[in-house]
Structure 1
């Protein structure tokens, strides 16, 4: 994506509205620039002694009309620009969220959530302010300055007096060249430190219960305080440079006014110009000092927003690691799953997470996968769902390489229930019906019964309309797991994967859930990943993994007879139950 393309594309798309707003602001500048000329003419007429009361009324009406025209025109132009800026802000946040939805898990493992949130808030706001205030202030500064110059000439103020008075303003472009890059560099540092602070704040707030449990509030405050200190230092550097620039620009305007007072006053005493022209000149230079100040503000704003816009453009230019094949196919209705010498190493790692896996799971089977922590069970699931792409030809569904299957078709038809199922801050019903919000309440209740979470929910005053706290904090650990399981059961598809998703429930509840699964999942494939043998012993086929490899396969009884890792795990767990 080309630099600043999202901004230029938006302005190009809405150019008629921006043009109308700019024209309104230009007309308001012309009206404002007429004010000193009228006052100068009134002053000369007053000093000449040939003004009548009716002329005073006329001049008053003219000045009132100028004031009304200026406010109406400028107000309408500014409103139009501000409205377009808010629409741009909305569109940019929508674009960022759509981009985040397409990126792969590997990207989010490298980028902190706080930095991404900072881009959607701080960076987007900064760019919106630049496009809104920047257009208004730039148009106002340029055309008000030009309008004043034209009006001074029409007022018969000598050209040499005008040129001498505005000499100090020639230095403004040199100030811009010097201060601009330095302000931009410091703005980039401020935005980066704001992103770090947002990330730190999010982490500290998410872990506040752990912090309180361990009574380490001072340590948490110190850790967060260090990020705030960094923001303070960076902002002070930015403020110091911006203040110098913003002070230098109006100083040049004041210097022009001093020159006009000294030289223009001398010419008025000598009779070379009228008193009215002298008053008009000083008023024009006073008005022109406003645009000079605005130029300084615009440069500061643009340099700051440029750093934000660069960050946003980089995010929008990110490409997902996992993409559909050009000729992607839909997932078969009832696919077999086959692993062919599957080996995978995570990016940045030297050691394979899984190595040489070979297995076949027939459609409709219930298969258990057990193994110690770190044996590669979850990695296998991530490859099956294409959270990470497996090597070509190593995972086949329905005889088709998983890399040739449409990502949407693959993931929409596989229900995955992880150990720590994320629950959203909405109602229990919405969480269970997450894959299809049109599911009737009766089906939601049925899936809750299958996951053995119906009775606890029914005891809540609002039952399935109970709103959960952040990450489902309203529920206990076991209740969250069972609610997540009910959500997985509500997602109709040929394959259901339970990734240690009953670890927080007791043995009796686990048995009841497994019995319900047998009835619910007939003729559909179910993969149960677990540490507890009790969760998989009734499965049609069991795969045992250790250190990234499949070390055993068979039924429960066959694996017990082999006296290998599976039998050892079973014996230890049985002893633990009876101890």
Structure 2
């Protein structure tokens, strides 16, 4: 139960649901377990009065006796019916409180997990599979809900019912009670050993279920690649192997679960045999009445479901414990990127400085930057150029604190960015990433994601500045067009421009464009650059690219190679040095001339 103790805070939060549920459960059981007492009285009444009826069967008292006797039996019958109805009513209230409580806890737990996902940094998401993360917030939470709802409800009902019934049985005849309950120790040992097996197998099953979810998610996301390389059959075999492992583990767990019901029925059968045999001997010896024997048989039958539910409840608790352990491990994860206790809120103007920054990706060990220095004055436009893997995108991710450098520091307006609140820092830097991601929503909402309070006019202006407004208006539903998952209904260039519009609508003092024009044609690129030149007039901008924008006048251009600055200067200065930049420019100009001649 140590893993499930993490849920105690929710029981405290919903204490009134819990306490009322316990009260309704107790009242329902009281009305239920006192019905056999009425049955005992009926049997004793019958035993006593049938002899009397035989003695007066020929007298004038026969009819009055029959009327009184029938009325008494009717009273007892109605009493049993009334108790059954009241027991059912309070059972209904019990479910309305405890099961509703479990749904509230499920809601809170899912939100807690989702908020933890939002807090964790990029390194966590690179080290964990999407399917496993999805499984924790769906399957694992669902199994935990079964513990805080049905398992708790039936466990409470079982314990209270067993306590009351055993107390009532003991008050009638302790000897018969001991014989009736003698199979319980064997039952407890069975439950103990089988539960340990179930817990181990449940952990394995949850892990395999996460693997299946991950495999399916990767195949759905990469379906175009799978079809392009005709890998449908190998992908299906991969999924089949994962499903086969899950199926075998589930069957193994089902076989273990199957031990419970026969064990329960065996114990109940033994209890009934002991009750009838020993009880019969007690009746013969005159220690108890026939009504007591009938009462005991009814109590044993009433214990049938509690006995049976012990195994079922224990199985649910073990599965919930395995799931809650996975949830706890996740919730205990601490983000490496977080606010310091004294984090400040400031307005950023745009002066950026990288001082001797070195950074190595923790999940790969690749060193992206080495002793990197760069100073950008407020309002300057800086281009960062280099080969793939030279560390260009790392600059942008360090600036918005997706990662922190192992050495050196980054300052904005003289403030170490680690001393600022994350939300303040990121709200004042507009970042257009290299990997475009659009949500399965309308184009309007995808652009508005950059500034949730933006109006329609601002959205259209941002789209116009990104040179995508005409494309959007040509779509069937214009800005209300739903782009599909990851923007699948748009071309690569259209997705990039919508992403640019999302960045432009925020209108901050600092903007970072990470190779966000790689999928647009030359004419559109020229148009976007012209719009950006006017838009960025008074802003600090970092444009990361593998191409040279000769139409854009940069205050500074730096060339990166293996995480170091190998060239720095203006366009004209770099051309005059005849280095990497000049070579790249010559190749680019030659390629453009070839396209024009074609």
Distance in 2 separating the partners of 1:251 and 1:79: 34
CA offset at residue 16 of structure 1? 2.8
CA contact under 8 A between 1:34 and 1:151: conserved in structure 2? no
Q: Tell me the residue number matched to 1:120.
A: 137
Q: Please state how far the C-alpha of 1:62 moved relative to its aligned partner.
A: 0.4
CA separation of 1:414/1:193 partners in 2, compared to 1, >3 Å: closer, same or farther? Answer: same
User: C-alpha deviations, 1:201-257, integer Å up to 9, x for none?
Assistant: 111111112222222211111011111111112212222222223432332122111
Structure-1 separation of matches of 2:422 and 2:513: 20
Tell me how far 1:12 sits from its aligned partner: 1.9
Q: Counterpart in 2 of 1:65?
A: 82
Instruction: Return the offset for 1:537.
Output: 5.1
Give the whole-Å Cα distance in 1 for the aligned partners of 2:420 and 2:234: 49
> How far apart are the structure 1 equivalents of 2:121 and 2:551?
31
Aligned to 1:377, which of 382, 392, 398? 392
SS at match of 1:550: strand
Bigger mean CA deviation after superposition, 249-258 or 48-57: 48-57
Q: Could you tell me which residue of structure 2 aligns to residue 7 of structure 1?
A: 7
2:429 aligned residue: 414
| Contact 1:322–1:388 (8 Å) recurs in 2 | yes
Contact 1:331–1:397, Cα closer than 8 Å, also in 2: no
CA drift of 1:488 comes to 0.3
How far apart, CA to CA, are the structure 2 residues paired with 1:349 and 1:209?
27
- In structure 1, distance between residues paired with 2:354 and 2:320: 50
What secondary structure is seen at the aligned counterpart in 2 of 1:533? coil
Q: Deviations over 1:345-392 (max 9, x none)?
A: 111555521112122111111111111100100111111111110246
**Which residue number corresponds to residue 353 of structure 2?**
338
Q: Secondary structure at the match of 1:534?
A: coil
- Supply the distance in 2 between the matched residues of 1:31 and 1:304 (Cα, whole angstroms): 33
The answer to whether the Cα contact below 8 Å between 1:450 and 1:517 also exists between their aligned partners in 2 is yes
CA distance in structure 2 between the aligned counterparts of 1:274 and 1:224, rounded to whole angstroms: 65
Shift of 1:83: 0.3
Tell me the residue number matched to 1:86.
103
> Are the aligned partners of 2:436 and 2:496 in contact in 1 as well (CA < 8 Å)?
yes
Q: Is 2:119 aligned against 1:102?
A: yes
Matched, 1:431 2:454: no
Tell me the distance in 2 between the aligned counterparts of 1:221 and 1:532. 40
For 1:384-463, list aligned pairs within 5 A: 384-391=399-406, 393-463=408-478
CA distance in 2, matches of 1:535, 1:136: 72
Report the aligned-residue RMSD. Answer: 1.7
CA distance in 2, matches of 1:497, 1:535: 19
Cα distance in 1 for partners of 2:351, 2:451 equals 25
Structure 1 CA distance, aligned partners of 2:119 and 2:283?
Answer: 71
1:22-421 matched pairs, under 5 angstroms: 22-48=22-48, 49=50, 52-153=69-170, 156=172, 158-269=173-284, 271-391=286-406, 393-421=408-436
| Closer, same or farther: CA 357–393 of 1 in aligned 2, 3 Å | closer
The structure-2 alpha-carbon separation of the partners of 1:76 and 1:434, relative to structure 1 and needing over 3 Å to count, comes to same
Sort the Cα spacing of 1:535 and 1:488 in 2 relative to 1 into closer, same or farther, 3 A.
farther
Change (3 A) 1:290 1:69: same
Alpha carbons of structure 1 residues 5 and 321: separation in structure 2 relative to 1, 3 Å: farther
Q: Please tell me whether the aligned partners of residues 130 and 302 of structure 1 are also in contact (alpha carbons under 8 angstroms).
A: yes
Distance 1:86 1:346 in 2: 41
CA apart distance, 1:40: 2.1
2: distance between equivalents of 1:322 and 1:432?
Answer: 27
Counterpart of 1:21 in structure 2 is 21
Q: Distance in 1 between matches of 2:209 and 2:158?
A: 31
Structure with bigger gyration radius? 2
Whole-angstrom distance in 2 between the partners of 1:109 and 1:396: 27
Asked whether the 8 Å contact 2:386–2:559 carries over to 1, the reply is: yes
Confirm or deny: 8 A CA contact 2:131 2:211 kept in the other structure.
yes
Greater mean alpha carbon deviation, residues 401-410 or residues 490-499: 401-410
Q: What SS does structure 2 have at the residue aligned with 1:353?
A: strand
Give 1:332 shift. Answer: 4.0
Report how far residue 461 of structure 1 moved.
Answer: 2.8
Are the equivalent residues in 2 in contact too, given 1:528–1:535 (CA < 8 A)? Answer: no
TM-score of the superposition, structure 1-length normalised?
0.96
Q: Displacement, 1:56?
A: 2.1
| 2:140/2:327 contact within 8 Å kept | yes
**Deviation of residue 114 (structure 1)?**
0.9
- Tell me: CA distance 1:276–1:66, structure 2 relative to 1, closer, same or farther (3 Å): same
Q: Aligned partners of 2:442, 2:365: CA distance in 1, in Å?
A: 44
Cα deviation code 1:442-462 (max 9, x no counterpart): 110000000000001111232
Asked if 1 retains the 8 angstrom alpha-carbon contact of 2:560 and 2:567, the reply is yes
Q: Secondary structure at the match of 2:183?
A: helix
User: Aligned pair in 2 of structure 1 residues 63, 351: CA closer, same or farther (>3 Å)?
Assistant: closer
How far, CA to CA, are the matches of 2:465 and 2:363 in structure 1? 41
1:542 aligns to what SS in structure 2? strand
CA distance in 2, matches of 1:45, 1:247: 38
User: Secondary structure, in 3 states, of the residue corresponding to 2:549?
Assistant: helix
- CA 1:536/1:60 → structure 2, altered by over 3 Å: closer, same or farther? farther
CA shift for structure 1 position 265: 2.9
Q: Per-residue deviation at 1:414?
A: 0.6
Deviates more, 1:333-342 or 1:55-64: 333-342
**Superposition TM-score, scaled by structure 2 size:** 0.93
* Contact 1:369/1:536 (8 A) holds in 2: no
Count of residue pairs brought into register by the alignment: 576
Structure 2 Cα separation of the partners of residues 119 and 297 of structure 1: 23
SS of the aligned residue for 1:526 comes to: strand
Question: 1:326: Cα distance to partner?
Answer: 2.7
Helix, strand or coil: the match of 2:565?
A: strand
8 Å CA contact 2:206, 2:323 repeated in 1: yes
Is the deviation greater in 408-417 or in 457-466? 457-466
Residue 579 of structure 2 corresponds to which residue in structure 1? Answer: 564
